[in-house]
Amino acid sequence: MQDGPSEDLLTVELSPLGREAAILRLEGEVDLSSAHLLSGQFKIVAKGDLTELIIDATAVTFMDSTGLHALVEGKRLIHDEGTRILLVPSPQVRRVLELVFPEPLFAARMSTVDEARAALDSPLDDRTDQAFDTPVA
């Protein structure tokens, strides 16, 4: 256990990728003590004019139900603003999502950040820009 504030367990960083796209990097644990950091960043993103967002969760080592709730609500908020979301989950995040949501919650779920960046350069694909909770065929 760390001596500092529990918020030190999660780092959230938003970086522009040009042409109205950005990457949101998450590192550490997304849980009861840190989920508000993620929620706050999603609110900032939703107020912006992004058309595409990569959520890089490859460095997330733990996610509890509070973290999952923050991710789901952030996705709803951002998607409602018309932003295309590409998720790159860590094995831990992927497992939580697969256990809780048998159908893909994030239609555009990538294996690597490089794959997600390449997808930004491709035209929108109906399979990766669907309404919330619509399964991918």
Question: pLDDT tens across 42-74, in order?
Answer: 999 999 889 999 999 999 999 999 999 999 999
What CATH number should be reported for the domain holding residue 71? 3.30.750.24
Residue 107 has pLDDT above 90, yes or no: no
Residue 13 belongs to some domain of the structure: yes
Residue 125 belongs to some domain of the structure: no
Over range 105-118, report the average pLDDT: 81
Residue 1 belongs to some domain of the structure: no
Q: How many domains does the chain have?
A: 1
Kindly report the pTM of this predicted structure.
0.80
Q: What is the 3-state secondary structure (H, E, C) of the chain?
A: CCCCCHHHHEEEEEEEEECCEEEEEEEEEECCCCHHHHHHHHHHHHHCCCCEEEEEEEEEEEECHHHHHHHHHHHHHHHHCCCEEEEEECHHHHHHHHHHCCCCCCCCECCCHHHHHHHHCCCCCHHHCCCCCCCCC
In the numeric block, which tokens belong to residue 124?
């929108």
Residue 132 belongs to some domain of the structure: no
Residue 134 belongs to some domain of the structure: no
Can you give the residue range of the structural domain that contains 31?
A: 6-119
